[in-house]
Amino acid sequence: MHRLLIICLIMITSCASPAKLLNSNKSDKIFFGSKGGFTNMSTDFVLFENGSICRLKNDSVIKTGKTSREEVRAITESIEYMKFMSLKTDEPGNMTYYVSVVQGDSRNAVQWSDNDRNPQLRELYVRLMNLVREQQ
């Protein structure tokens, strides 16, 4: 019984809250979402390296789900393959989509509209949004 209690306490205290992860410089993060359209609404999410997926809304961090570390690793590999950290895309439009990657001290953000011609960027965005949809 004591062993089970100790294991539970360790697990509870080792799980970082989404807000702590968001503000941590030690955790890699992928921010993504869209803004604009008729209502000029913004939809913002973040995927943490531990697989947690959160929605950012009105200065709140709301955990919406979790994906596997293998999926996070595959997304990270696709980011590296497409050389995301050196992409320079800043093309806002009526409906603007964005992805921002934070890896250690490095950060890169791109935004584009429906007219962008980078299929790898669109595939990355769709893959990230599918993670959110799977959690709903």
For residue 26 the two structure tokens come to 């030690």
Separation between Cα atoms, residue 24 and residue 94, nearest integer Å: 33
pLDDT above 70 as % of the chain: 79
Q: Does any domain span residue 16? A: no
Domain count of the chain? 1
Separation between Cα atoms, residue 12 and residue 16, nearest integer Å: 9
- Give the residue numbers spanning the domain of 128: 28-135
pLDDT score at 11: 38
- With cut-offs at 50, 70 and 90, classify the pLDDT of residue 117: confident
Q: Does any domain span residue 56? A: yes
pTM equals 0.81
Separation between Cα atoms, residue 107 and residue 10, nearest integer Å: 32
Q: Does any domain span residue 72? A: yes
Q: Does any domain span residue 79? A: yes
Please write the tens of the pLDDT for every residue from 60-110.
888 999 999 999 999 999 999 999 999 999 988 889 999 999 998 899 999
